[in-house]
Each structure stands twice: as C-alpha cells, then as structure tokens.
Chain A
C-alpha cells in the first residue's frame, strides 16, 4: 500500500500492476461476503430444492418431487395465490396513495415538514413487532377500526370480523403495509421537486388543467422514481413475513399464509429443508420474472431525462 504513492511518470511495473488492481483490494471483504454468505447459500438452496433434505434425517432422495408437490398441494397453491393477491393489492395502493399525498405536499403547503414527519413515522416503525401487536388490537372485533365504522354510520353498520373472516384477514396485513407509504412518498416528493417549474408554466399558458398537467407532465417526469418504487415494493411484498406471522399466524384458515410463512413452517417447524428451499426458489423465480418484466417494459414507459 505505502508504495502506491502519487501517480508519477516513473512507475515500476510492480507499481503499475498495483495501481491497476488496487480497487479490487477494497472489494476483498465484499467478495468474501458475497461468496460465503450469498453465492454458496444461493447455490445450496437450489441444490436442496431437488432433495428431500431433512434437518434430522439428511438427504435420502433426489428429484423434482418438491416442485411436483408445490404445484399440486392445495395449501401451497393457495399460499401462492394469496401472495400474489397480497402483492397486487398492496403495491399499487401504496404507490398511488404515496404519489397522491406527495403531489399535494408539493404545493406550497405550510408545515410541509411536520406533515412529512408524521407520514414518515409509520415507515420507520412499521417493521417492528410492536406495531404488529398494535395492529392486532386495532383490528379486533371491538377494536379501533370497527368502533370507528360503527360511529361513522351511527351504529348502522357493523365492521367485518377482521381477525376471523378469511375474506378480510389479508386486508389487515395490506393495510399495515399501505399505512407505511411514507418512504415511497418521500421519494416521490423529492422527484416532484425536481420537475422543472417552467414545464408547468408552459402548460398553464396552453390552457391545460391541473389533472391534464398531472398526467401529461408530472407522471412522465417522475417515471424513473415510479419504476424504482415499483420494483423495490414488489420485492418487499413477496418477502412479507412479520405481519402475517405475528398478527394472524397465517390464519384464519390459511387466508394469510403467504409463501414466506410456508417456507418458515417447512424449514423450521417441520424441518423439511428441501421443501422449504423449493418454495423459496419458486418465489425467487416469480420475483425474477416480475422484475424482468418491469425492466424490459421500462423502455416503453420510463423516461430518463438524461442518458444515465
């Protein structure tokens, strides 16, 4: 290291070699970490997914049986569908909501920072067990939500039984994550601030209304951020675990059993590591496909103002 002083003209070949490769030196920890904690486990889990690996009994059989089971077992297909349902409810609602609020905040609003802080708090705390506990209290039969529904309708309407009704239980988890729209909103807000004001002025002169401006100027200008939010949120949604695990334990009647819950149950309750790995891989492939779709489609709808 010490030899690699300032770039001067008279460098020995050894120094030149070092200059060329020293960047790699800084990546050694990352490379070790990548290989040991990511690449090898990644390959191993693919390998396990083709075995009947059991934590207690090891491997006795190789083949596609885990995948065959995954697509024929009613519980697993249901979990797959539930996971999709969860992602396709949560991600769009969260993004639309975040964009909407960011849009309003972007007008000259007094106390922007106060609002921004309030909206952002749930995002910071939302992953914690404490909030999951709170959510369970909020959605009880006599909890906050149902009492509110009764109050608003003057006692005429009874809210659904969130924790016990399979049609509504998933919504508890969806609401929990939509409630955490703050980080997506902060991103939108930053992007909105970056839209040049003269574009709006020109549009106003042309007589375009607010809605038209929103869809023909604002949205196109912030598509990179929409895209970024979309991809990260999809990745997150498919990995959701804490919410259903703590609030509903996958129930009632498996209506909130997402794939991640099944992976956990197979791996660490039944000790069937092979089956768990296969499910994780199915999920991974789904996320990959969705990401690839997003990336290939971005040419059609994402506008980058500069080439980078």
Chain B
C-alpha cells in the first residue's frame, strides 16, 4: 500500500503540472494574437532541417475526419490560407471517423498519406513509434510557432524524441443530458451524484416505461466510465502514462466492472444486447432511441457535444444540456488527453509550406477564428484568443470543456486507445462488457479477458 500512496503523490504532482498548463490554455487570451505568424514573412531565413518557402506554385494535400461543420470550417480556413499564400494550393481529403483509422494506417504504411494529417494522439505510438512516419516539428519552427503551446501539451506529442505533432485541442469526457426527457420523468436537475443517477434509472422505468433510460453507454464508453469510477475511488491513473504499467489490481478492476453492471441492473443504462437488437453496431447518436429521447444521456468527449445535440429531433433538441462531472469516490476521476493533432508526414515534399499551413490554422488569427471550436477548444494560446475574439467558440463546447478541464486530474497512457482494445466489434473492451451483459457475468469472471487483452497490446500487467 505504501507504494500506492507514493505513486499517488507522484501523480498529483504530474496532474498539477498538466492542470496548470490547461488553465493557461483556457485563459490565455492576453493579446497573444499579435505574436502569431512567426516567420511566414521571413522566407529567406536559414533553416536547419527543412528547406525554405518556395515562390513557385506548391500543392499540398491534407486530410481530416469529422462531421459536416468541421469539414466546412477546414475548407473555409483553407480558402483563406490560399488567399494569403497565392502560390500554395491545398487539396483536402475528408470523411467521417468510422473506418478512417483503417484507411489512414494503410496510407501511412504505403507512404501515400497526405502531407498534413489530422491525427489521433495514439497514432503517434501506433504508426510512428520510432519517428518513422511524421516530421519532427522542431525542424520547422521558423514557420510554426511552437511557443503557443505549453510544455506539457507538447511533451504529450513528443514521441521517439521528436515533436511529431502539435495538439489541436485537449479533451475529456463529461455527461450530457436530454432534459426534455428528464423533465417528462419529473426530474428537473441534472444528476450530480451516483445516487441521483440510480434514482433517475428507477424513476425513468416507473414513470416513462421500460424502454426509457437516463444514460446510454456503449462498450467503449463503459470502459472509460469504469476507469473514471476507479480513478475517483482510488485516486491513481489507470496506467503509468510513460511505461503503460497497469496501476490497478484484478480485484479493483472487477469492482469497476461490477459498478457498470450495477448501472445496467439499476435501469440506468440499457443492456448492450437490447441496444444491438435495434441498432446493430451503429453509434448511439444514430440510434432512434437517442434521436427520440428514449436514451436521455451520454458520457462523451467535450468536443462531441454538438454532434449529439444535432442528432436529436426538434422536440428534444432544446433540452440538451451539459451535465456535471460526477464524483464517485474521494478523488476527481477521469482524464484529459490530446484530442487530436496536426502532423506533417515524412513523405511531404514541402514541409515548410505544410508548417506554414498548420501555423495558419492553429495560431494565426485569420485561420483560428474560422476554425473556432470545430476541433475542440483550441490548445494554442493565440488560436484560442483569436477564436474567442471572433466569437467562433461554441458555448456548448466551451462549457463542456471548461467543466472537464476543471475537474479531471488523471493522465492517459497511449495504449489505452489501441485499436485492438477499443475497436468497435472486435475490440477487447467490447468483448468484456458484452460478456457481462450477455452471460450475466460478474466483474471477477471477466477481468482476465481484459487483462489478457491489455497484456497483448503491450501493457505491463502485474
């Protein structure tokens, strides 16, 4: 136990550093906008690793995933970029998230990925563990102002001793509630504690019927909430952020799984088989139950707020509310992570121009004010200031992000999001929670499935 305590202290320290950085990121609107565009004018400057800007016509390719509004924001920003840099043409490629990682991983391997890619944080570890896929952005500092991010954020994207991407935003999970349905059930306040949650489950069943649930959690959401629960109970990270050594014992994890099971049993969340029955493997915001308000809550990334709100039908849309983080134990659970980053692939022939583009999108006023909060609340200080000044930060996202960042204190290890673990349909997380629901198993019965799966992707499991 003494080991656990000392470890906890260590985590508090690292957590504090992270939180300080985040606070700086959130409140940093102190005239930073003027310090942007570091070197785009100083084209003749001598560069260590990458060549200078070309005055000949240059074509860049860029890719991202997202929803309709993000596509529009990126495209508008690119248009503005080309207006400013008339010799650079940017050809975008974009689609929805589903299936995107499969596509990108083959592109990275085949060396045909776009010059500038929006990447998920764990891709750095999956596809560029040795720095083989992405350019070290320290070589492009003449064009991309890295000082707009604080150390902790940049460090999270530093893999194999190379700054492989810059974070676009930081994100964490929070509850969202459909108060239209809650009001129907006679509940007027968002749930603030586990008791509230359990009571809501009961009230929903009694007042609205068996097919109404206050919350919906898919298999991956269950995993994240389970970690959230354990972290708030025991106050330690799920795993060591650098060595990916699991910090929890089998018994503790079994307890966490049983907690999720108690939510199913208490009619707080729908059992997975029931959900699959009418939706197959479709995501929650696509389900009729969510759209019509029968599933009245979710536990999602702060940047997903609009996606879930937009999916609701007219009757339910006004009731969509950002909830409060719930404290399940003595500590604040949950983690924040780099939601996504922008990276330059090594196959890019014009890294200087590519860096200029990234700087424009994230740091410069003209770009950042268009991007707004479409990729989450900007992590770049100058970018955030510009977005706020332009009124392009969505209130809902800002509120969710503010609440998450003020609350969460834990760190995430890069293996947590490994495709083999989190993948829809084939992942280990889904196997664990499917088994619980289908076979009515307890946490102790299934904990080994989880541990074996984690072991297989590289966790140190004691």
Whether A and B touch (Cβ < 8 Å) is answered with: yes
Chain A residues proximal to chain B, CB less than 8 Å: 55-56, 136, 140-142, 161-166, 247-254, 257, 265, 268-271
Closest to B106 in A: A268
Residue of B nearest to A261 (CB): B426
- Does B278 contact A163, Cβ atoms closer than 8 Å? yes
Task: Give the contacting residue for B273; candidates A55, A164, A248, A268; CB below 8 A.
Answer: A164
How far, in angstroms, from A248 to B424 measured CA to CA in the complex? 11
Q: Which residues of B contact A140 (CB under 8 A)?
A: 277-280
Identify which of residues 265-293 in chain B touch chain A, using a CB-to-CB cut-off of 8 Å. 272-281
Q: Which of B331-375 contact A (CB under 8 A)?
A: none
How close is B344's CB to chain A, nearest CB, in angstroms? 19
Residues of A contacting B127 in the complex (Cβ-Cβ under 8 angstroms): 56
Residues in B whose Cβ lies below 8 Å from that of A257: 426
Say yes or no: is B34 at the interface (Cβ < 8 Å to chain A).
Answer: no
Q: Which 5 pairs between the two chains have the least Cβ-Cβ distance?
A: A164-B276, A161-B277, A164-B277, A249-B425, A141-B277
* A52 CB, nearest partner CB in chain B, Å: 14
Contact residues of B: prevailing secondary structure: helix
Q: Which of chain B's residues have a CB closer than 8 A to the CB of A162?
A: 277
> Which residue of chain B is the closest to A54 with respect to CB atoms?
B109
Contact of A252 among B105, B276, B420 (CB under 8 A): B276
Chain B residues touching A, range: 20 to 34
Report whether over half of chain A's contact residues are helix, strand or loop; otherwise say mixed. Answer: loop
Measured CA separation A253–B449 after assembly (Å)? 14
Q: List 10 A-B contacts (CB under 8 A).
A: A140-B279, A141-B278, A161-B274, A163-B277, A163-B278, A164-B274, A250-B425, A251-B425, A252-B273, A271-B109
Q: How far is the CA of A268 from the CA of B105 in the complex (A)?
A: 8
- Measured between beta carbons, the chain B residues less than 8 angstroms from A136 are 280
User: Pick the contact of A249 from B105, B273, B424, B438 — CB < 8 Å?
Assistant: B424
Given contacts A248-B280, A253-B438, A268-B102, 7 further A-B contacts (CB under 8 A): A140-B278, A161-B277, A164-B273, A164-B276, A249-B280, A252-B434, A254-B426
A166 close to B438 (CB less than 8 A)? yes
Q: Is there a chain A Cβ closer than 8 Å to B419's Cβ?
A: yes
**In the assembly, what is the distance between CA of A241 and CA of B32, in Å?**
54
Q: Are B109 and A56 in contact (CB under 8 A)?
A: yes
Chain B residue at minimum C-beta to C-beta distance from A56: B109
- Contact for B105 among A248, A250, A253, A271, CB less than 8 A: A271
Assess the A250–B426 pair: CB atoms within 8 A: yes
Inter-subunit contact A247/B278 (CB<8 Å) = no
Query: Which of A56, A166, A247, A248 has most B Cβ within 10 Å?
Result: A56
* B431: chain A residues within 8 A (beta carbon): 253
B residues in contact with A251, CB < 8 Å: 276, 280-281, 425
- Cα-based distance from A66 to B434 in the complex (angstroms): 27
Q: Does A55 lie within 8 Å of B106, measured CB to CB?
A: yes
B279 neighbours in A (Cβ, 8 Å): 140, 163
* Interchain CA distance A269-B424 in the complex, whole Å: 12
CB of B13 within 8 Å of the partner chain: no
List of B residues within 8 angstroms of A268 by Cβ? 102, 106
A142, B294: Cα distance in complex, Å: 15
Does B42 interact with chain A (Cβ within 8 Å)?
A: no
B residues 89-137 with Cβ under 8 Å of A?
Answer: 102, 105-106, 108-109, 127
Question: Chain A contacts of B281 at CB under 8 A?
Answer: 248-249, 251
Interface residues of B in 381-419 (CB under 8 A from A): 419
Chain B residues 419-435 with CB under 8 Å of chain A are 419-420, 423-426, 431, 434-435
Chain B, residue nearest A256 (CB): B425
**Chain A nearest Cβ from B36, distance in angstroms:** 36
Residue of B275, B281, B424 with most partner-chain A CB within 10 A:
B281
